[in-house]
Structure 1
Amino acid sequence: MRILYLHQHYSGPAGATATRSHALAHALAARGHHVTLACGRYEGAVTGLAGAFRGGRREGLVRGLRIVEFDIGCGNAQGLGGRGLSFGRYAARAAHLALGGRWDLVVASSTPLTVVLPALLARRLRGTPFLYEMRDPWPELPRALGGVPGWALSGMERLADAACRQAAAVVALSEGMAETALGRGAAAQRVHVVPNGCDLDLFGPQVAPWRPAEVAPWEVLAVYAGAHGRANGLDSLLEAAALLRAGGERRIRILLVGEGGEKPRLRAQAAERGLHNVTFLPAMPKRKLASLLAGAQLGVQCLAPVPEFAEWTAPNKLMDYLAAGLPVVANLSGRAARLLAEGPCGIATPPGDAAAMAQALRWMADNPALRQVMGRSARDQAVRRWDRRLLASQFAGIVEEAAAPAATLEALAAA
């Protein structure tokens, strides 16, 4: 089959951001399908392409995958207007690609939700079926976070309804997301859950450990690796650090790795409050992150105290921690809390409760033997339940099923 995979924020493993689309696209290529992946220039992403952009794009074959990269920048530090413009420009370029080729299926992977526009156009004008991959439910999450104009939310409502109702298949990253797709009119037999998975080759006990020079050998290193945006609620983590310091706790260092619009303010706040137990580092390639996690004692998962996050999020960083064999301290309820309870492989504290997070971090420092047991349980869960290769195979099967009716009709027409 000829598959057009649309993901504006795509990155290969050399980048510092999520690589789910990389794994899923390669799983499709390994099954003999011809995959073209179209993306933009996302902050921290590395596509594997080199050379100058010509006519606003560059393309090439990277490890069996045809990649088309548009010269359209996007990142967490951009404001709402800048991101909106980036989303619109990508949708326009991707629509030209979707309508200009003969595709058996289009995969539209959000966010942003505007990625479904080219897929909807190709379905209407060319009869091309599409699969809608819901990484985050929009407009549900933007509405919950606030700050998005009503007209934009209204437009998202109509677009999300159309995507769920017209897609040949909807793939959601959690059961909660799948329920939103059903609520928007998706047929139950077309909705599937394929969660984020663990890269067991990249992360794990086989990786040589590394610790930054700022971290003392005797310190318990707790790593948060991810975006520094409003949705991540990192003020709560700084408050936990302040409580630990005020209580005389000197064994724990909190390391925040990543970029985002909130990072300058968070760094200034940490310096102003004298939080010498907090260190900031820029986003780093996944392979270096794997070494950092191998040298750490804890993974930290943090989100803003938004009730909708409980079932509507599937953080890939949590999968990285589990694959690395790290026990996790999280401030989430719902799906993530249930996941950590299995084993158990971590502690879930109430959302927004900095004191509880500080107490959980201190417990981890007080109980090194139990912490190691949790770490082994984390790796065991990663191997048993979240192996990305198995999940990628499941995704490929859904893609093939979604494209089957159109492929049958084309074969009959050619006969």
Structure 2
Amino acid sequence: MTHRRVLVLNHFAVPPGQPGGTRHVELFSRLPGWTYVILAGRRNMITGAPQRPEPGFHPVAVTPYRGNGLGRVVNWVSYAVTATAAGLRQPRPDVVYASSPHLLAGLSGCVLATLRRTPFVLEVRDLWPRVLIEMGTLSETSLANRALERLERFLYRRADRVVIMAPGVRAAIEGKGVAPDRIAFIPNAADPEDFTPSADRDELRRRYGFTRRTAVYAGAHGPANGLDLLLAAAEAVPEIDVVLVGSGVEKERLRARARGIRTVRFLDPVPKTEIPDLLHAADVGLHVLADVELFRAGVSPNKVFDYMAAGLPIVTNSPGIVGDLVMGADSGCVTAPGHLAHGLAQMVQASPDELTKMGAAGRRWIREHQSRSAMALTLARLLAPLVDGEDEAAR
């Protein structure tokens, strides 16, 4: 059987089992009839550890950086250059699939698709540059914003398909001139079968030092995550322990801010293979975002799906698409961005049976509606006509 090839560009991808973004490994490894190579940065963005080549995973050199300054932009540029060079050395793919958040990865994918004369798929993880403007890190009148907007429109025009991960993003992309039939919705996902713990709950709670009702935040510690809101809520509701697991540019500042809050603890990132144990030991899963309007319609948070697959009740401070999901699945509670304390208090007051019921409802929902296997089949249906020549009119 002849397999088709897809070349995937994701600066921040990580290989299986490592902390960070494994979306594309999980999707493309389940894609029947395809082989894949993911071009990723050589260092894990979360741990800083070097990433080594593995089957289907090819790391490329990138410049180091700290914080959110010019060094980060240089890091993006370095990835675009080295990923393009690496892509040209790969066997000719049948499709090039490039994923944001930063648009230079999309530009690299577009260049490769043009040079290799192959279809180009652009995956939009965040609406750049709009999200930067709403977070206050980029001025709407700046030269940088105008340049990014032009690049954004260029990539949308050149892409044979645009993959979105949150339905609320569709209108914004259509507003940039992308025809509705060129947009495909493939959100993040999770499989309950991947969240089987390695030991019983009592043993795992001893391992992590969980002695009281414990809420876990597992994810990035960056400006977009709004974790100051979580620390304020933890201070207001001392009846529940809050554990933050992960890394990011804000972590040290947050750790200093939390000194004196005895119910808050920070843990280093854990491998993906350990996440089922961590979540099985916890009582509640926390999803937190900064108070940014765009986040209410334009996110597809991995951690929410992981919590659901693990059977954890959820507290989220993100009304809109995430809040609707949590409420629709009866899997937890939703608060306004600055009212996380209310959600923590509800979890303190809930009985163990109520927590179990919410967790089971979320697990059932994710199995029935948003498993990784189902999303891989959706991706297969997206790619097939591009390769089979059925999509010439759209291109």
**TM-score, structure 2 as length reference:** 0.90
Structure 1 pair 198–208 and aligned structure 2 pair: CA distance change class (3 A): farther
Q: Residue 379 of structure 1 aligns to a residue in which SS? A: helix
For structure 1, which segment, 102-111 or 116-125, has the greater mean C-alpha deviation from structure 2 after superposition?
A: 116-125
2:205 corresponds in structure 1 to 211
1:184 partnered with 2:176:
yes
Percent identity of paired positions between Structure 1 and Structure 2: 33
Output the aligned Cα RMSD.
Answer: 2.4
Structure 1 pair 350–48 and aligned structure 2 pair: CA distance change class (3 A): same
1:254 partnered with 2:255:
no
**After superposition, where does 1:215-226 map in structure 2 within 5 Å?**
215-217=209-211, 219-226=212-219
Superposed displacement of residue 204, structure 1:
4.3
Instruction: Give ranges in structure 1 of 5+ residues lacking alignment.
Output: 51-58, 409-415
Q: Residue 79 of structure 1 aligns to a residue in which SS? A: coil
1:232 corresponds in structure 2 to 225
2:330 corresponds in structure 1 to 344
Q: Residue 42 of structure 1 aligns to a residue in which SS? A: coil
1:24 corresponds in structure 2 to 27
Letter in structure 2 aligned against 1:332: S
Q: Distance in 1 between matches of 2:20 and 2:200?
A: 21
Q: Distance in 2 between matches of 1:292 and 1:37?
A: 28
Q: Residue 27 of structure 1 aligns to a residue in which SS? A: coil
Q: Distance in 2 between matches of 1:288 and 1:327?
A: 19
1:373 partnered with 2:365:
no
1:36 corresponds in structure 2 to 37
Superposed displacement of residue 392, structure 1:
1.3
Cα deviation 1:222-265 (Å, max 9, x = unaligned)? 100001111111111111111113xxx3xx11100011111111
Superposed displacement of residue 406, structure 1:
8.8
Q: Distance in 1 between matches of 2:34 and 2:376?
A: 14
1:266 pairs with one of 233, 251, 254: 254
Q: Distance in 2 between matches of 1:196 and 1:96?
A: 29
**Partners of 2:121 and 2:162 within 8 A in 1:** yes
2:73 corresponds in structure 1 to 84
Instruction: Give ranges in structure 2 of 5+ residues lacking alignment.
Output: none
Q: Residue 338 of structure 1 aligns to a residue in which SS? A: helix
Structure 1 pair 92–216 and aligned structure 2 pair: CA distance change class (3 A): closer
1:56 corresponds in structure 2 to none
Q: Residue 62 of structure 2 aligns to a residue in which SS? A: strand
1:108 partnered with 2:109:
no
Structure 1 pair 398–47 and aligned structure 2 pair: CA distance change class (3 A): farther
For structure 1, which segment, 222-231 or 180-189, has the greater mean C-alpha deviation from structure 2 after superposition?
A: 180-189
Q: Residue 368 of structure 2 aligns to a residue in which SS? A: helix
Letter in structure 2 aligned against 1:10: A
1:389 pairs with one of 352, 367, 373: 373
2:234 pairs with one of 234, 237, 241: 241
Letter in structure 1 aligned against 2:10: H
Q: Distance in 1 between matches of 2:206 and 2:178?
A: 48
For structure 1, which segment, 195-204 or 326-335, has the greater mean C-alpha deviation from structure 2 after superposition?
A: 195-204
Q: How many residues align?
A: 384
1:152 corresponds in structure 2 to 144
**TM-score, structure 1 as length reference:** 0.86
Structure 1 pair 291–236 and aligned structure 2 pair: CA distance change class (3 A): same
Structure 1 pair 240–407 and aligned structure 2 pair: CA distance change class (3 A): closer
Cα deviation 1:108-161 (Å, max 9, x = unaligned)? 011222111122223444432200111111112111111235222222211111
Superposed displacement of residue 357, structure 1:
3.3
Q: Distance in 1 between matches of 2:366 and 2:133?
A: 32
1:285 corresponds in structure 2 to 271
Superposed displacement of residue 216, structure 1:
4.3
**Partners of 2:167 and 2:297 within 8 A in 1:** yes
Cα deviation 1:307-347 (Å, max 9, x = unaligned)? 11100111101111000000001101001111111231110
Cα deviation 1:280-331 (Å, max 9, x = unaligned)? 0011101112101011110000001111110011110111100000000110
